[in-house]
């Protein structure tokens, strides 16, 4: 049996067979630092920009981590990149396919998304006081579960052609997130993420902003650098969508 080897993440653990959304639960309750809220099934799984997250019972991992610590507001971009980075590091050795990071925080295999991150923060003045890191990873999901988004959504099982042990992956993910958070200040996420950045060197469009150009990489604080006709622009908002053109 696999035991969780962490110091604080997941020591307080709340399990729901079914809930609306683990992020909503974590936000509306005062839970201690390191609390993990996991649900087998979410009836209102939330994605970024008001989208929903398909959360089929027992097929994926749907959970939220509460980090009740103080970080300078300047670290926000880097913090929200830490979670996809850590999940990629945690599971890459189990896979044949290469994982790519779509900026700011989606994980892709073969040009389809299998994991999403909804990072919600509480900010006071220039400080982040609490982070609710909502993580959805499609693991043993079948193509039919994704309905009309099956051309863009995938699971580890679909891409790798085998079933995974969710518990093993879950423990690995929590352990890797804790390790990455512990070395957050010395972690060079820019370099790490650039190595596996989706569409690097290709032409992209940033929706809403009307920016088009070649994706050249990340700057020190985690912003996306795009070479446009007007020169290099850096985009910081974590709430924008990037498309390949
Ligand atoms: C996205 O890609 O738009 C973000 C998806 C985040 C989904 C996870 S599943 C667990 C947690 N609870 C939620 O309601 N959403 C996040």
172: which DSSP letter? Answer: H
What confidence tier does 187 reach under pLDDT thresholds 50, 70, 90?
very high
pLDDT at 245: 83
47-66 confidence digits (pLDDT tens): 998 899 999 888 999 999 99
First-residue to last-residue Cα distance in the chain: 47
Residue 239 clears pLDDT 70, i.e. is over it = no
In this structure, are residues 180 and 65 in contact, taking their beta carbons and an 8 Å threshold? Answer: no
What are the backbone dihedrals phi and psi of residue 230, each rounded to the nearest 5 degrees, phi first?
-90, 10
- In the reported structure, the alpha carbon of residue 97 is separated from the centroid of ligand 1 by a whole-number distance in angstroms of 23
Q: Is the CB of 138 under 6 A from ligand 1?
A: no
What average pLDDT score do residues 172-180 get? 98
Which of 40, 50, 62 has most ligand 1 atoms within 8 Å of its beta carbon, as the pocket-test mutant?
62
Cα 21 to averaged position of ligand 1 atoms, centre (Å): 8
Q: Considering Cα of 210, then 214, then 220, then 222, what sign does the dihedral take?
A: positive
CB atoms within 10 A of CB 186: 6
Whether 52 is in the pocket of ligand 1, judged by its Cβ within 6 Å, is: no
Instruction: State both tokens at 125.
Output: 């003045």
Nearest to 114 by CA among 137, 97, 94: 137
Token duo for residue 233: 């622009």
Would you say residue 240 has pLDDT above 90? no
3-state SS class at 106: strand
Query: ipTM exceeding 0.95?
Result: yes
**For the chain, which domains are there?**
13-195 (3.30.930.10), 203-244 (2.30.30.100)
Mean predicted lDDT score pLDDT of the chain: 94
Whether ligand 1 lies within 6 angstroms of the CB of 135 is answered as yes
Ligand 1 centroid–CA 69 distance in Å is: 21
């Amino acid at each position: 049996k696999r035991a969780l080897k962490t110091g604080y993440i997941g020591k307080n653990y709340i399990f729901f067979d079914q809930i609306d959304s683990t992020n909503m639960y974590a936000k509306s309750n005062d839970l201690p630092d390191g609390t993990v809220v996991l649900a087998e099934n979410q009836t209102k799984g939330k994605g970024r920009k008001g989208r929903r997250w398909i959360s089929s019972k027992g097929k994926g991992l749907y959970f939220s981590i509460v980090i009740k610590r103080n970080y300078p507001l300047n670290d926000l971009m880097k913090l929200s990149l830490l979670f996809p980075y850590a999940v990629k590091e945690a599971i890459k050795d189990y896979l044949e396919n290469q994982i790519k990071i779509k900026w700011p925080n989606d994980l892709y295999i073969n040009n389809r998304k299998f994991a999403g991150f909804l990072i919600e923060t509480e900010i006071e003045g220039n400080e982040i006081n609490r982070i609710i890191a909502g993580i959805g990873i499609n693991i043993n999901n079948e193509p039919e579960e994704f309905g009309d988004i099956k051309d863009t959504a995938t699971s580890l099982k679909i891409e790798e052609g085998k079933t995974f042990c969710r518990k093993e992956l879950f423990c690995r993910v929590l352990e890797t997130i804790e390790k990455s958070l512990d070395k957050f200040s010395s972690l060079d996420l820019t370099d790490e993420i650039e190595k596996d950045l989706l569409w690097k060197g290709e032409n992209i469009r940033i929706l809403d902003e009307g920016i088009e150009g070649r994706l050249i990489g990340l700057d020190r604080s985690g912003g996306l650098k795009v070479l446009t006709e007007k020169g290099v622009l850096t985009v910081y908002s974590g709430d924008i969508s990037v498309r390949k053109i």
